C-alpha cells in the first residue's frame, strides 16, 4: 500500500509502499508524537539506499525505526530526507537531492539529524569529518539508530569515527576489487565484462561477434565519409531511415564521429585515452607489445586509415577549452530569436581564423556575432551600470546563542560610541573624528538590525562585506561577474540584424534583470568545503 506521511510541518515523505502492519504502527507513532511539547528538539530523519534490497533496510523500515527512536528520545519529527538509489561513496550528504536541501537551505529548521545506520549515512571518513565539523559549527546533533553515536558526548564522536573508518575500508576494498577486475579483462582476448563497442555483440560462447545491422551502418558511413559527406548529414540520413542507435536516444554528429574514430572497429581491445583532452579511445597492448585482438575487424588497417583521413579533412578546430569554459558568460548570453545559449565557434579562412558567437536552433546558427570579446565587454559595461552599485551581502548561519553574544557585543559598541559622541566625549572636539565615529556607529546599527528581532532560534542572516559588486567584479574579473550574474538569473539577449551590403550583422544586447535581483545576488557560502 502507498502512503504519504504528514506531521505538523506538512507532507514529509515521498510516496512509498507500506504494509498494513506498518501503517498501523505509523499511525500509533503519530498519535504519540503529537503529545510532545512544541519546544521539544526537532528531528530530521535521513533515509538512504543505493538499491532496493532486503526488507530490513527498506525505506519504510528505516523510517519506522527512526520514528520510534525519535519518540524514545523525545524528539519531534519535522522532516524526512529520503534519497533512494544514491551511493554514499560517490555522493556526500550535502550533495544529495533531499538531504542536501535541508543541510544547505533549511538548517535552522531542525536540531538533530537521525539516520538508520552509519553506512546508510556516509561511507568515507573525510565526508564524516566534514559533517561532524558542520554539526558542531551549527550546533546540531548526529544520532544513529544502530550505533552508539551522539555528538553531545566525546565518546560518541570517537565511536562515529571508528565506525566510519571501517565503512571506508569496506568501500575501498570493493573499489579495489572492481578496478582489479577491469585491469585483468583489458589483457584478455575474451570479452569478460562490460558493454561491447558499437558494431559488435556478444555471442552465446561469450566472445565478440560482428553485429550485422551495425556493420552495414558503419560500412555505409565509411563510404559516405570518403565521398566527403559530413557527419551531420549522415546522422540526418540515419534518423530518417529510422536506424536504431544501439544505445537509445537519437543520432548526433558527435556520437557518430566517436564511433567512427574508435580503434575497436579494427577488432582490437581499447581503453579510454585520458591524456588526449578529448573523448578518444586508444589501443591496449599485451605483454608481448602487440595489440590485443578480441574479434574480427569491421575495417582493415588501410580502410581505417583512409576513414580517419577523411574525417580529419572535414574537422573544425574549435577554441581550446579554457579553465572557465570555451565561452565566457555561458548561460547568460542567449539568442533573442531561439533562446538558446550563444557559444564561441572558430572558422578557418584563407588568411586568418575567425571567432564568432552563434546559437543552436537558428538555421546555420543565425547571423553570427563576430568579435566575441567586444560582446563580452559590452555585457560587462551594461552589468556594471545596472548592478555595480549594489552592496555585496553574504549569507551566514547564526545560532541562537551566537546571536545573543553578537547582539550584546554590538549593543555595547553602540553604547560606547553614543557616549563618546556626547558634548563631553572624546569625539566631540574634532570634526573629522566625529564624522568617522558617526559612520562606524551607523555600521554597527545596521549590523544590529541585520540580526533581526531578539530570540533564541537559529536563523540565516545577511552580512554586508563592505564593498559593492562593481568593486568585486573589477577585482575578480569577468569570471567573478559571470558566476554572480548566473546566480542572480540575469539574461542578456543578443539581437542580430542584417545590414545591407555588409557581411557582419548589427549586434544589439538586451539585458534583463529579475525584480528580486538583490536577494538572488546574496552570496551563500559553502559550509562543506574541505580544508
| Average pLDDT estimate for 443-448 | 80
pLDDT surpassing 80 at residue 454: no
The answer, yes or no, to whether residue 259 has pLDDT greater than 60, is yes
Banded model confidence at residue 465, pLDDT cuts 50, 70, 90: confident
* CA-wise closest residue to 245 among 218, 264, 272, 225: 218
pLDDT at 8: 41
Mean pLDDT score of the chain: 81
33-50: average pLDDT: 87
pLDDT in tens, 514-529: 999 999 999 988 878 6
From residue 13, alpha-carbon distances to 84, 104, 117 in Å are: 12, 19, 19
pLDDT of 202 > 70? The answer is yes
- Chain-centroid distance, C-alpha 397: 22
Gyration radius from the chain CA atoms: 31
Q: If DSSP codes are grouped into helix, strand and coil, which group holds residue 342?
A: coil
| pLDDT at residue 368, rounded to an integer | 79
Residues in the chain: 531
> Is residue 242 scored above 50 in pLDDT?
yes
**Alpha-carbon distance values, 38 to 33, 77, 362, 391, 507 (Å):** 11, 11, 58, 39, 60
Average pLDDT over residues 221-250: 89
* Residue 137 predicted with pLDDT over 70: yes
Residue 108 CB-half CA count within 13 A: 14
- CA-to-CA distance for 38 and 29, rounded, in angstroms? 17
Q: What is the pLDDT of residue 520?
A: 93
The yes-or-no verdict on residue 276 having pLDDT over 70 is no
Rama region for 261: left / alpha / beta (φ>0; ψ in -120 to 50; rest): alpha
pLDDT of residue 489: 93
Distance CA 298, CA 212 (A): 10
The mean pLDDT of 73-101, rounded to a whole number, is 91
- Candidates 75, 78, 77; CA nearest to 40 is 75
pLDDT band, very low/low/confident/very high, at 9 (cuts 50, 70, 90): very low
Cβ-contact 523, 394 below 8 angstroms: yes
Q: What cell does 186 get?
A: 583489458
- Give percent of the chain with pLDDT exceeding 90: 31
Residue 109 exposed, middle or buried by CB count within 10 Å (0-12, 13-18, 19+): middle
Over the stretch 466-480, which tens digit does the pLDDT of each residue have?
899 999 999 988 889
Report the pLDDT averaged over residues 68-80. 92
pLDDT value for 488: 93
Helices (H), 34-77: 59-73
Q: What is the pLDDT of residue 55?
A: 45
Cell of 243: 536506424
Q: Distance between CA atoms of 423 and 455, rounded to whole angstroms?
A: 35
* H or E segment and range at residue 406: helix 400-420
pLDDT above 80 (res 334): yes
- Residue entry with cell 548561519: 397
Out of 84-88, 321-325, 359-363, which region has the weakest mean confidence (pLDDT)? 321-325
Amino acid at each position: 500500500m502507498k502512503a504519504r506521511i504528514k506531521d505538523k510541518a506538512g507532507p514529509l515523505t515521498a510516496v512509498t509502499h507500506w504494509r498494513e502492519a506498518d501503517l498501523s504502527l505509523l499511525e500509533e507513532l503519530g498519535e504519540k508524537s503529537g503529545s510532545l511539547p512544541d519546544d521539544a528538539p526537532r528531528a530530521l530523519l535521513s533515509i538512504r539506499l543505493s538499491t532496493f534490497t532486503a526488507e530490513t533496510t527498506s525505506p519504510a523500515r528505516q523510517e519506522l525505526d527512526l520514528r520510534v527512536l525519535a519518540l524514545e528520545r523525545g524528539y519531534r519529527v519535522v522532516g524526512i530526507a529520503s534519497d533512494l538509489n544514491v551511493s554514499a561513496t560517490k555522493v556526500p550528504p550535502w550533495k544529495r537531492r533531499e538531504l542536501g536541501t535541508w543541510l544547505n537551505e533549511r538548517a535552522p529548521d531542525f536540531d538533530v539529524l537521525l539516520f538508520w545506520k552509519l553506512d546508510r549515512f556516509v561511507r568515507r571518513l573525510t565526508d564524516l569529518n566534514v559533517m561532524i565539523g558542520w554539526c558542531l559549527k551549527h550546533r546540531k546533533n548526529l544520532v544513529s539508530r544502530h550505533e552508539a553515536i551522539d555528538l553531545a558526548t566525546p565518546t560518541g564522536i570517537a565511536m562515529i569515527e571508528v565506525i566510519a573508518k571501517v565503512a571506508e575500508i569496506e568501500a575501498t576494498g570493493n573499489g579495489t576489487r572492481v578496478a582489479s577486475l577491469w585491469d585483468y579483462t583489458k589483457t584478455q582476448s575474451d570479452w569478460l565484462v562490460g558493454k561491447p563497442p558499437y558494431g559488435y555483440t556478444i555471442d552465446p560462447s561469450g566472445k565478440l561477434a560482428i553485429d550485422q545491422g551495425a556493420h552495414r551502418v558503419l560500412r555505409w558511413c565509411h563510404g559516405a565519409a570518403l565521398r566527403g559527406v559530413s557527419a551531420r548529414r549522415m546522422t540526418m540520413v540515419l534518423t530518417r531511415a529510422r536506424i536504431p542507435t544501439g544505445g537509445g536516444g537519437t543520432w548526433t554528429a558527435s556520437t557518430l564521429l566517436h564511433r567512427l574514430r574508435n580503434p575497436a572497429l579494427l577488432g582490437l581491445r581499447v581503453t579510454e585515452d585520458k591524456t588526449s583532452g578529448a573523448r578518444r579511445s586508444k589501443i591496449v597492448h599485451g605483454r608481448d607489445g602487440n595489440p590485443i585482438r578480441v574479434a574480427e575487424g569491421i575495417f582493415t588497417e588501410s580502410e581505417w586509415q583512409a576513414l580517419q583521413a577523411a574525417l580529419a579533412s572535414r574537422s573544425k578546430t574549435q577554441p581550446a577549452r579554457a579553465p572557465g569554459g570555451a565561452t565566457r558568460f555561458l548561460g547568460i548570453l542567449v539568442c533573442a530569436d531561439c533562446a538558446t545559449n550563444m557559444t564561441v565557434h572558430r572558422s578557418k579562412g584563407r588568411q586568418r581564423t575567425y571567432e564568432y558567437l552563434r546559437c543552436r536552433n537558428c538555421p546555420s546558427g543565425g547571423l553570427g556575432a563576430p568579435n566575441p570579446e567586444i560582446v563580452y565587454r559590452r555585457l560587462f559595461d551594461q552589468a556594471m551600470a545596472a548592478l555595480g552599485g549594489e552592496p555585496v551581502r553574504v549569507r551566514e548561519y547564526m545560532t541562537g546563542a551566537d546571536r545573543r553574544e553578537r547582539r550584546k557585543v554590538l549593543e555595547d559598541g553602540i553604547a560606547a560610541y553614543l557616549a563618546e559622541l556626547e558634548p563631553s566625549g572624546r569625539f566631540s572636539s574634532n570634526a573629522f573624528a566625529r564624522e568617522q565615529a558617526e559612520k562606524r556607529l551607523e555600521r554597527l546599527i545596521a549590523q544590529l538590525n541585520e540580526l533581526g528581532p531578539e530570540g533564541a532560534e537559529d536563523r540565516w542572516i545577511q552580512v554586508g562585506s563592505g564593498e559593492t559588486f562593481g568593486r568585486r567584479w573589477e577585482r575578480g574579473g569577468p569570471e567573478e561577474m559571470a558566476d554572480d550574474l548566473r546566480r542572480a538569473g540575469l539574461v542578456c539577449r543578443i539581437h542580430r540584424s542584417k545590414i545591407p551590403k555588409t557581411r557582419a550583422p548589427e549586434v544589439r544586447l538586451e539585458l534583463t534583470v529579475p525584480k528580486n535581483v538583490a536577494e538572488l545576488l546574496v552570496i551563500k557560502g559553502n559550509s562543506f568545503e574541505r580544508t
